[in-house]
C-alpha cells in the first residue's frame, strides 16, 4: 500500500535497480572534473549504483557481473534483466517497476549515512563470529 502511495506521488521508474544504472552516465560525466576525495567519492557512488542489479542477479543464482555489463552495454533506458524469467526486457512494459520516491529516498539516505560515517571519528559495530551455531528452533503447539 505504501509503495502504491509513493508511486502515485512521484511516479514510477524501471525497477530491479535499472533506474540506478540509467543514472550512471550523469555521474560518469562528473568524474573527469573532480579531484582527490571528490573523485574517489564519485567512483564509489558509481560502484554503489551497480549493486542492486548485481545482487538481484546473484540471488537468482546467476553471474551478476555478466548481466550487469550487458545492461550497461545496451545503453537503452529501462532495459534490464527479468530475474524471474531470466531474460532481458524493457522493464516498464514488463511490469518491473519501482516507485520513483522509494528509489530517490534510498539514494538520498545512503548518501546521508555515508556522509555521517565519513565525518564521524569512530563507529561501534558488532563483530560477526565465524563458526556461530544456528539457534535451536522454537517449539510449536503441543511440544
Residue 63: give its domain's CATH number.
1.10.560.10
In a domain, 7, yes or no: no
pLDDT tens column, 82-94: 999 999 999 999 9
In a domain, 93, yes or no: yes
Phi, psi of 15 (to 5 degrees): -90, -170
Q: How many domains does the chain have?
A: 1
Domain that holds residue 62: 13-97
Measure the CA dihedral 103/107/84/78, to 10°: 70
Q: Report the pLDDT value the prediction gives residue 18, as an integer from 0 to 100.
A: 95
53 within a domain of the structure (yes/no): yes
Chain-centre distance of CA 84, in angstroms?
17
Q: Is residue 132 part of a domain?
A: no
Q: Is 36 a domain residue?
A: yes
- Residue 29 counted as domain residue: yes
Name which of 66, 67, 68, 63 is nearest 46 in CA terms. Answer: 68
Which pLDDT tens digit goes with each residue over 104-132? Answer: 888 888 888 877 877 887 778 888 877 76
Determine phi and psi for 17, rounding to 5 degrees: 85, 0
Q: How far is 136 from 133, CA to CA, in rounded Å?
A: 9
**Cα first-last separation, the chain:** 37
Residue 67 lies in a domain: yes
Band of pLDDT at residue 133, cut at 50, 70 and 90: low
Amino acid at each position: 500500500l505504501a509503495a502504491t502511495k509513493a508511486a502515485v506521488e512521484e511516479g514510477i521508474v524501471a525497477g530491479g535497480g535499472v533506474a540506478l544504472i540509467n543514472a550512471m552516465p550523469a555521474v560518469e560525466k562528473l568524474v573527469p572534473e573532480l579531484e582527490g576525495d571528490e573523485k574517489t567519492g564519485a567512483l564509489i557512488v558509481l560502484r554503489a549504483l551497480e549493486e542492486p542489479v548485481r545482487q538481484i542477479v546473484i540471488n537468482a543464482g546467476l553471474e551478476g557481473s555478466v548481466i550487469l555489463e550487458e545492461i550497461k552495454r545496451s545503453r537503452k533506458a529501462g532495459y534490464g534483466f527479468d530475474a524471474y524469467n531470466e531474460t532481458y526486457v524493457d522493464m516498464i512494459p514488463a511490469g518491473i517497476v519501482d516507485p520513483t520516491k522509494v528509489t530517490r529516498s534510498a539514494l538520498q539516505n545512503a548518501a546521508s549515512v555515508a556522509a555521517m560515517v565519513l565525518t564521524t571519528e569512530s563507529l561501534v559495530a558488532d563483530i560477526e563470529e565465524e563458526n556461530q551455531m544456528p539457534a535451536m528452533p522454537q517449539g510449536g503447539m503441543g511440544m
